[in-house]
Structure 1
């Protein structure tokens, strides 16, 4: 049961006790016995119903602000004498006591999980209750430090991993649904790999995981990667012959850690692990969705095309089964998709989120694949089109710099040909 579910399962209680314990954490007594007070605060929070927790969260956001007099004086000193010491004093004065409350809440066993659950719970209320944005920002700031790369442990997940961890893969797969234990077993076969990051504070909870297929050549469609296969010897032989590693799914497992980046570290370390185990691998690529394409097209953002009329032509869920219609649409949609994926963020464009992630990590836009995934969600988001982002060791840093500095989309000649 998750911390949020544990909280939800208790009898309702007044949030006043939780507020008093939070205030006590900042007292002198709180410094001396912080772990004990934090443990009691967690126990009290578990008795609150949703309304009580919401009230306590608003209290955390509003009650622990920087002292305005101290902050104003520090700002005046910095404006009068902009030294490093004055800047440090200003930063200290601006640091909200709320962050120290959260740090001390983390002193009790299970404190990190409680805080992650709190951030997950406040997310749906941020628009309607903007005061909670202060609490959200402080939690994100602390998590960025507590979950930095130095604390993360990379583990391979296979069929011998604990059942509780395997169940979490099924529950949290966000890209391509895992349809039960047989499907999961295929994804953990000898010609497949799955790796996840773990953190000491959450020993049995994967933070993020990546699924990899070992294949020959650059995979252009998802279905062959997910075909059932019970012959492990054949799968082992395929893995030994493979020259390409295809990253086909990356899923975050902790909603409360949104915005804390793990994926870039994960991909780079998994590449190192795979190179050690399979030295014959020559290419490391993704087979990725394009979740923003159809929405962009529907907004009329494509120049020179009547997108609305074209979308009306695609009037059924299985339009792609009509060979004549599919072939007529293919060159138009492929060119539009190339246009969508090569727009520079430097011009103020909103970049596809998956593209931003991989291009920002130094990948190259390698190939756009027609009907790479004909599952319902993929057809709805991108007309089934998928894309390969290639991670080339010799050009990753150069590609990253080009994207980060000037918004350049490094791409292959094949993508240029579509344009």
Structure 2
């Protein structure tokens, strides 16, 4: 192990005690929340935070929703105070008038969340709390506004500078491997033998981001196949009887599965940094790697075809490729972004649509969501920033000429 790994092992050492207060406080969770925001002592504040988190874990969904509604309304901003302090700052800008405006414009519930995070192990608890909020708060404007406070704070707490990239191998701790199986969201891992085939061979890699406050729980992980050439079938990539390739013989790194692990960190972007960091690390390790590409699902394709009233049943491989290319390049939301969520992710990261493949995922899930089609997104490392800026500015889907031709061929056939 490197010196850095030794240091991180020390940082990641399990030393968190259970968040259970020494004695029960008779006040309601709402009263405890108000007391925590007003607490001036560190010890008393930690005790209150521990009590609130312990209570929240034991709540039913109805009780959690009630608690969220309370802090969303009782700890909201004071609109009059915001207006008056803004007027004062505009009339006489100064450090004091600006400080007053900032204090008025930040809701007290943000301070509540910060103070809840002051006890050991609370960060993971708050991530789970936000997962509950996202699940229970859909359609309630006050709770959706409360989520913006969680998201604002999490964006700072889970900033890339705090994240640690760790390789996952067959020799990683069993509890980490169990979570990789549980969190895999793209191509299900059916058994320990299946996991071993994805981690142990010399042409396979897996990397995950961890946070020092959650050392045993990956935030996001990516699985990589080292290949010769760009693959067009995930079944071939994961076949039990395939012959492993010597890592040094590979010319392509194929990112075939990226899984977010924490529902409570939805919309907190890690994937962009993860892909770029892994690509840089692999390029430094293996000088023969020249191509960095994904083999990605097209999860929205068949649902979109059904909404559009387009018939795709019985289409041959050539037509399915054209249908997929047309969808990826031309199916847009009202805001100009692609309909497909995976396309939005990779295009927003600076990739281009490189190729589409029919019969690429013949699993039940793959056939149901995309008729078995898959797509390669190509990451040309020197052009990522340029592609990202162009996409962010214009929402233009940058694609290889062959993909554009496929999409145009479908348009001509419908004309």
Could you tell me which residue of structure 1 aligns to residue 3 of structure 2?
none
Distance 2:93 2:268 in 1: 32
Distance, in Å, in 2 between the alignment partners of 1:226 and 1:157 is: 18
2:234 corresponds to which of 214, 222, 231: 222
- Counterpart position of 2:326: 339
2: CA distance, partners of 1:175 / 1:65: 39
Looking at structure 2, the residues matched to 139 and 26 of structure 1 have their Cα atoms a distance apart, in angstroms, of 16
Take 2:93 and 2:303, find their aligned partners in 1: how far apart are those partners?
48
Counterparts in 2 of 1:194 and 1:78: CA distance versus 1, 3 Å: same
Kept in 2: contact 1:30–1:37 (CA 8 A): no
Match of residue 195 from structure 1: 207
The TM-score with structure 2 as length reference comes to 0.86
CA–CA distance in structure 1, aligned partners of residues 247 and 108 of structure 2: 54
* Structure 1 position 82, deviation (Å): 7.2
Q: Which one of 72, 78, 88 corresponds to residue 67 of structure 1?
A: 78
CA RMSD of aligned residues (A): 2.5
- C-alpha distance in structure 1 between counterparts of 2:26 and 2:332, whole Å: 46
Following superposition, the deviation at residue 193 of structure 1 comes to 0.2
1:357 aligns to 2:368 (yes or no): no
Q: How many positions carry a matched residue from both structures?
A: 384
Q: What does residue 148 of structure 1 align with? A: 159
**Which one is further off, 43-52 or 195-204?**
43-52
Give the structure 1 partner of residue 262 of structure 2.
254
CA drift at 1:353: 0.8
Distance 2:64 2:27 in 1: 11
Matched-pair contact (CA < 8 Å) for 2:337–2:344: no
The answer on 1:33 being equivalent to 2:44 is: yes
Listed one character per residue, the Cα deviations across residues 107-162 of structure 1 (whole Å, up to 9, x for unaligned) are: 01111111111111122222343321132111111110100000000000001111
Q: Kindly report which structure 2 residues correspond to 1:166-315, keeping only aligned pairs within 5 A, or say none.
A: 166-188=177-199, 189-229=201-241, 235=244, 237-300=245-308, 307-308=309-310, 310-311=311-312, 314=313
Q: How far off its partner does 1:207 sit?
A: 0.2
Contact 1:165/1:205 (8 A) holds in 2? yes
Question: C-alpha displacement at 1:388, in angstroms?
Answer: 0.4
Q: Unaligned regions of 5+ residues in structure 1, if any?
A: 1-5, 8-12, 301-306, 315-324
Partner of 1:318: none
Match of 1:320 in 2: none
TM-score (norm 1): 0.85
Q: Secondary structure at the match of 1:218?
A: coil
Question: Structure 1: how far apart are the matches of 2:66 and 2:333?
Answer: 42
The match for 2:126 among 115, 137, 156 is 115
**Structure 2 counterpart of 1:391:** 379
| Cα distance in 2 for residues equivalent to 1:15 and 1:114 | 22
- Cα distance change of structure 1 residues 15 and 393 upon mapping to structure 2, 3 Å threshold: farther
Q: Which runs of 4+ in 1 moved over 6 A?
A: 82-85
Unaligned runs of 5+ in 2: 1-17, 409-415
